[in-house]
Structure 1
């Protein structure tokens, strides 16, 4: 068993020198360790009013190689840090072989590994955990690290660096501000900034945007429609085709596998609403989509990570018709052949406006959140500015040479 130990610290206690227990970092081994890995996040974050406890069974599934298809193309090692018998930290180290096969110009590439799922009682624990993750990556031949990623780029990428004062929306992460300082103290430098945009959806969009939408609605070549849940698999395939094409040149892009597509479809299905996901067709061809999700976190924030004894009933009742203050747009894309064109912007504004109307009139929503969006994605940032949305959160992905 590998052990990563920090130097024993000495403190004065009533005039005598007392040795504090050393920090020992070791791989997760067995069910008890895995439970301790999961439980730690709930203990360390329970006093943070902006932290949304994820459902424990969802976290366990994320870490289960038999259930999460990410493990089919990735090497993963979990670590726990202890002081004496007390668990004081955790981290994951991983190598996504689909990411290492990508062009380095897109951010990932050969010999690039990752760590994530960091939780630490203090800076010394964080330093020991990150050092052990780096050591594991070096032993696997990695020469560069991008972090934090928990665990795929499609899940919860980045360390929160702006927007600590309010909870994240569904499928977005939240980390204490002190973790940012722990990471930066270890010679990590920003590699990419991810933003989310906050939007008041009660008020109409600016007159120019309304005219663009109305022009598109009069264009017989354009059709913007809701998805059809009765054809869920076929609709999901259309969306994933557009997504893989639209995002393929983006920084950090990693393609979905067929198993991941099926897995994502299964996870999304309970909160998918037909009138909140739009597909845009041009001359009969699906060329763009926009996915919007009710903010499940508004329900989860008070559940403590458990559906028992009665939270399951509350959640099922909410899922029947999810009234919510906030809607999140996690994914949006236009086929590459139309990107940068007036048509692409027009389709985006049309889908946003249709979903805005539905979100307000049918679900009682008052705000939307768009993101994450890469800081250098000029098209999406321009759209966000045009509809008068404002940056409310920023997440930083850091890099370091090993």
Structure 2
């Protein structure tokens, strides 16, 4: 752990060397955790680069490093999402809401001044409350892992040491919202009632469940974005995804996109719902330790070309708002899940999938997860505090 008695200095990140140190410290502090999946360094660096990550087109930010006796021992980002400021207060964001994230600390004596530095920066920018940790967008890695430390996260989910929870709560933070992921054994069929609902839908001429067409990638991405922004628009924490963010995310995820794992549901010819499933690329990334060179890229590329024995994650699904809370919405969800389940077993040797994250108060999605016998396997807590 090093000498904890030395002088601790928290300072803004300035220059190339600081940016590299900000990136490196996460690998050093988390490297001994057997369940931490080191992100590809190129992707982690790109996420922090305002010239490449379109999140920064609508956000102000400041990165901070903590040093003890000149040695880097922690980091944090403070940021203000300008789109979040425009959202209704009753949906969790709204005017005066700042955020911090990308938090790592060697010990609690480092954590407290790092959080204080982020709060001071947000306060100086006129923010009156803070939600954290959110790294960086609500669409990226929101929340602190507070349940499920005993297994690695799937693609696009975070992993944090259990010790961070008491350190953050000691600074006056209280839970604002819990996000859940659900583990699902896909090797067997669903309960008889759900199978009857699926069979009934398959006989309904008004319903069509189709795969996305990768040849029309941009068009399909725009359709999914349109459904998503409509479906999630009244959810807690919702911030609209910009066209630039869709293009950026689409480019990153395109190698993982499989037409038989992403479904669009049409009702009377109108696209009304979608479900996106991705092979869990964290499996090979964990094996190569997040390092593409010298030989990691070969292993990763081979896996991406043909994922085998691949676990799956459903990071996004949505049903247009005018159908939500209807029997049809649940039926479409079950039908899409079943079609993806069969394809995943047949084509990728899948036995396990994960659904989420899902807000703890999203009754519809929680009910769907429970109906197919999925179990909560991880929880992430977003904390709030008045500044």
Return the offset for 1:19: 9.6
Return the offset for 1:37: 0.5
- Conservation of the 8 A alpha-carbon contact between 1:53 and 1:303: no
- Conservation of the 8 A alpha-carbon contact between 1:329 and 1:368: yes
Residue 193 of structure 2: aligned partner: 208
Name which one, 1 or 2, has greater alpha-carbon Rg: 1
What is the rounded CA distance, in whole Å, between the counterparts of 2:352 and 2:161 in structure 1? 24
Residue 34 of structure 2: aligned partner: 49
Residue 183 of structure 1: aligned partner: 168
Residue 6 of structure 1: aligned partner: none
Question: What secondary structure is seen at the aligned counterpart in 1 of 2:312?
Answer: strand
Residue 268 of structure 1: aligned partner: 253
Return the offset for 1:172: 0.2
Return the offset for 1:304: 2.1
- Residue correspondence of structure 1 range 287-306 to structure 2 within 5 A: 287-306=272-291
The equivalent position to 2:123 in structure 1, one of 138, 147, 153, is: 138
Return the offset for 1:169: 0.3
What is the rounded CA distance, in whole Å, between the counterparts of 2:198 and 2:5 in structure 1? 65
TM-score of the two chains, using structure 2 as the length reference: 0.98
What is the rounded CA distance, in whole Å, between the counterparts of 1:352 and 1:19 in structure 2? 51
The equivalent position to 2:114 in structure 1, one of 100, 107, 129, is: 129
1:22-78 deviation line (CA, Å, top 9, x unaligned): 110000001110111100011111110000000001011000011000000000100
1:200-253 deviation line (CA, Å, top 9, x unaligned): 000100011111111111100000000000010111111000000000000000
Residue 227 of structure 1: aligned partner: 212
Residue 333 of structure 1: aligned partner: 318
Question: What secondary structure is seen at the aligned counterpart in 1 of 2:229?
Answer: helix
What is the rounded CA distance, in whole Å, between the counterparts of 1:242 and 1:212 in structure 2? 23
Listed as ranges, the gaps of 5+ residues in structure 2 are: none
The equivalent position to 1:347 in structure 2, one of 322, 332, 345, is: 332
Residue 111 of structure 1: aligned partner: 96
RMSD of aligned C-alpha atoms? Answer: 1.0
The equivalent position to 1:367 in structure 2, one of 352, 357, 364, is: 352
Return the offset for 1:197: 0.3
Return the offset for 1:336: 0.3
Is 1:158 matched up with 2:143? yes
1:317/1:19 Cα in 2 relative to 1: closer, same or farther (>3 Å)?
closer
Return the offset for 1:255: 0.2
Is 1:381 matched up with 2:387? no
Question: What secondary structure is seen at the aligned counterpart in 2 of 1:301?
Answer: helix
Question: What secondary structure is seen at the aligned counterpart in 1 of 2:230?
Answer: helix
What is the rounded CA distance, in whole Å, between the counterparts of 1:211 and 1:321 in structure 2? 33
Listed as ranges, the gaps of 5+ residues in structure 1 are: 1-17
- Residue correspondence of structure 1 range 36-115 to structure 2 within 5 A: 36-115=21-100
- Conservation of the 8 A alpha-carbon contact between 1:295 and 1:324: no
Return the offset for 1:267: 1.1
